[in-house]
C-alpha cells in the first residue's frame, strides 16, 4: 500500500498539533523513528505494509 500525499500531510499536522517529535510519533505508531521520518517526506511515494498503513490510519482517526 502507498501513502497518499493527503495522509502524509495529515501525519505532519497531527504530530504538530500534539507537539510530538518524530520519534515520539513513531513510538505511538509502533514503528521505527527513521521509518516515520521517511513517511513524512512529501516528495516520495512510500510503500508500506498493510499493518503499518492500518496503524497510521487508526492513529489519524483517533480523537476525531
The C-alpha cell at 23 is: 520519534
Domains of the chain by start residue, with CATH: 5-61 (1.10.260.40)
Per-residue model confidence as pLDDT tens digits over 6-30: 999 999 999 999 999 999 999 999 9
Per-residue model confidence as pLDDT tens digits over 41-58: 877 778 899 999 999 999
pTM: 0.85
Q: Is the CB of residue 38 less than 8 Å from the CB of residue 44?
A: yes
- Per-residue pLDDT band for 64 (boundaries 50, 70, 90) equals low
Amino acid at each position: 500500500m502507498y501513502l497518499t500525499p493527503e495522509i502524509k500531510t495529515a501525519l505532519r499536522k497531527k504530530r504538530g498539533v500534539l507537539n510530538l517529535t518524530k520519534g515520539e510519533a513513531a513510538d505511538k505508531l509502533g514503528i521505527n523513528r527513521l521509518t516515520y521520518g521517511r513517511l513524512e517526506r512529501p516528495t516520495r511515494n512510500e510503500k508500506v505494509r498493510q499493518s503499518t498503513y492500518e496503524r497510521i490510519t487508526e492513529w489519524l482517526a483517533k480523537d476525531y
